[in-house]
Amino acid sequence: MVPLHRPFLLGTVLILAACAPALPRVGGSALTPSTRWTPPAAERPTTSGAQSSAAELPTELQVPGALLTPEQLVALALERSPETRTTWANARSAAASLGSARSDYFPDLTGNFNGNRLKTSATGGRVAVDQKTYGPSLSFSWLLFDFGGRSGTIAAARDALLVADWSHNAKLADVVRRTAQGYYAYVGARGLLEAQRLTLRQAEANLAAAEDRRRVGVATISDVLQARTAVGQARLAEQDAEGAEASTHGSLATLIGLTPTAQFTVDTTAASAPIGDVADAVDSLIARALVERPDLAAARSQFDARRDQARAVRSAMRPALNATGSGSRTYVSGSTGGRDSYNIGVGLSVPIFNGFAWQYAAEAANMLADAEAARVRSLEQQVSLQVFLTYQQLRTARQRVATSDDLFASASEAADASRARYREGVGSLLELLNAEQALGSARAQRVQARVEWHTSLVQLAHDAGLLEPNGGTRLQVTPARTPVPGSNR
């Protein structure tokens, strides 16, 4: 015969299993393996106010016809960059952590107020008691000495603050570099668009000339078709340049905290600065980079933090001197006045053995410090190589500017000569179209060479730690003969 309690227990388990709750949901459609979850209306993402306000320029810059200078573009980028706000918040947090670590130099005080009621019954010949006690109390604990643990922790927190501050400076430099290079990229795209439009106008003029010559019987339909092909190719190049100009404008808008569709006009006169050679030697620039680069300084501070943390970990194997104490005043119902009590003590704790955990922890901290030192050395090598490569890139860009100037001059003369020969009837249209194509290519290469020089100069200043917060550089540049960017024949 089955005991009654077993069916009862089985029935209880089945009831509880049947009442098991379903998985929780936050609303919306049910989720299945083959369908997408649809969120409820309240959970749908919306555009934040910060994103909405980013679509507009500051009021003082919304003057009709206002031109944004590179300095204003950099200032907007620094003001609105979420990256710099993140590093700033991290630096503030690190400063608060340092303040928290320094609190270890002070005692920990704890205040309490306690109230108790005691009531007993009269049993076994004892008198019944009904008593209330209450009163404040104060206790403290104070680390007096610990052989470097406390000072190591505070030093590591200070180093962490330096890391955060240097990292903020490094992010500022990155934002300035990207904005300045974005400015020159847009100016270059705009100059290239103007160059392609000039090439298109010349191709259209050649087509008109070929049609006129065909009407008077001195040119064939083949000449007209070749001229039309040149116009089509020039128009395609112009359309590509328009797309590149719009893309770089949208990228620059994003860099300064606006939406890509924001409308603003850029002052391009800064791109007319003289182009020349950097007077600084590459060795001196490498030496300055090893001192000025904020990311390298952050890595060195991180090494210091690891070293101080290792010192704090090693202190766990050493004695620590502590002071403790407490004091209180107790009031008893039915009695007048309070009763004071206190205790103060000093204790010395001596670590003896914990399974070698202290030794392993100290070894791990030392190895982390050694790894950080190796990372600093690796970063120093990277910085030196970056400066060297960018220096060579700038020198190449300077040579390309000179070569593109010579190429443009010779291509212009060749195109002028071909036009004259074609007008006089002694030159062919194919010769003229080839000369015009070479001129258009030289015109575009001249614009691109200048963009490469300006962007390389900004990159070198960044890599050497000599990029100013307004986008300028502290590099010594010897000016050379340079036509104004964007001026095209």
Band (127; pLDDT cuts 50, 70, 90): confident
Q: What is the pLDDT of residue 57?
A: 81
Q: Which residues pair with 117 in a beta bridge?
A: 132
DSSP 366-427: HHHHHHHHHHHHHHHHHHHHHHHHHHHHHHHHHHHHHHHHHHHHHHHHHHHHHHHHHHTTSS
Res. 74: pLDDT tops 60: yes
Q: Cα 194 to the chain's mean position, in Å?
A: 34
Q: Does 181 score more than 60 pLDDT? A: yes
Flag whether pLDDT at 214 surpasses 80: yes
Q: Per residue in 457-480, pLDDT tens? A: 999 999 999 999 999 899 999 876
d(CA 291, CA 391): 17
Per the DSSP assignment, residues forming a β-bridge with 321 are 145, 348
pLDDT of residue 300 exceeding 50, the answer is: yes
Under the banding of pLDDT at 50, 70 and 90, the label for residue 100 is very high
Residue pair 166/392 in contact by the 8 Å Cβ criterion = no
Class (C level, CATH) for 71-115+131-479: mainly alpha
Residue recorded with tokens 């100037």: 405
> Furthest-apart CA pair in the chain: how many Å?
144
Supply the pLDDT for residue 82.
Answer: 94
Quote the DSSP letter at residue 1: -
Strands 338-349 and 320-332: antiparallel
CA 55 vs. chain centroid, Å, equals 20
Sorted by where each begins, the domain ranges of the chain are 71-115+131-479
Q: What are phi and psi of 115, to 5 degrees?
A: -130, 135
- pLDDT of the residue at 484: 42
Higher-confidence residue of 126 and 385: namely 385
* Per-position b or e across 460-479, b if 16+ CB within 10 A of its CB: bbbbbbbbeeebbbebebee
State the Cα torsion 421-422-427-428 to the nearest 10°.
160
- pLDDT above 90 (res 216): no
The b/e string for 391-407 (b: 16+ C-beta within 10 A; e otherwise) is bebbbebbebbeebbeb
Residue with tokens 């003369």: 413
Cα(161)–Cα(169) distance, integer angstroms? 12
* The predicted structure's pLDDT at residue 14: 72
Would the pLDDT of 275 be above 50?
yes
Q: How many CB atoms lie within 10 A of CB 138?
A: 14
N-term to C-term CA, the chain? 112
User: Of the given ranges (77-81, 127-131, 299-303, 446-450), which has the lowest mean pLDDT?
Assistant: 127-131
Question: Stretch 242-249: mean pLDDT, rounded?
Answer: 96
Give 314-330 pLDDT, tens digit per residue: 999 999 999 999 999 99
**Residue 1: pLDDT over 50:** no
Rg, C-alpha atoms of the chain: 39
Structural tokens at position 323: 């002071």
Tokens 């403290």 -> residue: 140
Provide the pLDDT for residue 479.
78
What pLDDT was estimated at residue 481? 53
pLDDT of residue 483: 47
Q: Do 244 and 447 meet the contact criterion of CB atoms below 8 Å apart?
A: no
Of 308, 354, 314, whose CA–CA distance to 147 is shortest? 314
Which pTM does this prediction carry?
0.84
> How much is the pLDDT for 9?
73
CA 321, CA 147: separation in Å to the nearest integer?
Answer: 9
Handedness of CA 81, 87, 88, 93 (dihedral sign): positive
The answer to whether 348 and 341 have CB atoms below 8 angstroms apart is no
DSSP state for residue 318 in the 8-state scheme: S
Whole-angstrom distance, CA of residue 276 vs CA of residue 387: 18
448, 188 in Cβ contact below 8 A?
A: yes
The one-letter amino acid code at 132 reads K
Please say if the pLDDT value at position 130 is more than 90.
no
Predicted confidence band at 336 (pLDDT cuts at 50, 70, 90)?
confident
Beta bridge partners of 95: none
pLDDT beyond 50 at 486 = no
For residue 332, which of 88, 182, 115 has the smallest C-alpha distance?
Answer: 115
Average pLDDT over residues 224-247: 95
